[in-house]
Amino acid sequence: MEQLSLFREPDNFRHKPPTVVMSKDFLLGWKERIYSYQQTVKSNPPSRQISLFAEVDHFDPEQIDPFELLFQPLEFYSACDLSESNCLYFLVDLANPILLYIGETKQNPKKRWLNHDCQDYIANYLDLHYRYKLSTNLRLGFWWDTPKERQARQNIEQLLIGKWRAPFNKQCWDIYGQPFKKLPKISC
């Protein structure tokens, strides 16, 4: 039989399971795995058979190097003209450098980005780096020369995710895990 209390215990004082925070060593190892793989992809482009009579594929994903794009701050929408809409976008931590996320949109990138699930991953990623006093330099790169047809853009996006294995993309969670979605935001 449970003993009754005269005073009601506030909800925030109830016992909570302990929060598990990724260790600094695990974080550094996680980033090193991503960096090593992506550098291998970057330094070993696939060989291609060129035909003198074939048309050049204008939307060839092999021609897109996310690390060579012009980067914008995460608050890009206050710094640039967004009159164009169809694009692929790439979230990169230039401090390493590692490609964290690849996405596509047909809408204004500002609208897409402000309501993006990736915002939680970014916040947790930045919080953990701050906790361990590790530097970050998150930037977005845009590739505007994309097909207008959504299916064609999504096909290119999928090929690039498979090629670069960006860890914030759900297609790569079985490779790198999902540490920043499950990690609650760290408070001081």
Phi, psi of 147 (to 5 degrees): -65, 150
Q: How many CA atoms lie within 13 A of 29 on its CB side?
A: 8
Query: Given a cut of 50, is residue 122 above it in pLDDT?
Result: yes
Q: How does the average pLDDT of the chain come out, rounded?
A: 79
Q: Between these two residues, 2 and 149, which has the higher pLDDT value?
A: 149
E strand residue ranges, 15-97: 71-73, 87-93
Q: Between these two residues, 106 and 54, which has the higher pLDDT value?
A: 106
* Residue-by-residue DSSP string for 129-186: HHHTT----EEEEEE----SSHHHHHHHHHHHHHHH--TTSGGGHHHH--HHHHSPPP
Task: Give Cβ neighbours of residue 74 (< 8 Å, ≥ 6 apart).
Answer: 122, 138, 139, 140
Query: Given a cut of 80, is residue 103 above it in pLDDT?
Result: yes
Q: Which range is least confidently modeled, 33-42, 56-65, 93-102?
A: 56-65
What is the identity of the amino acid at 113?
W
pTM: predicted TM-score of the whole model, two decimal places: 0.77
The percent helix, strand, coil of the chain (3-state, each to 5) is 40, 15, 45
CB 160 within 8 A of CB 102: yes
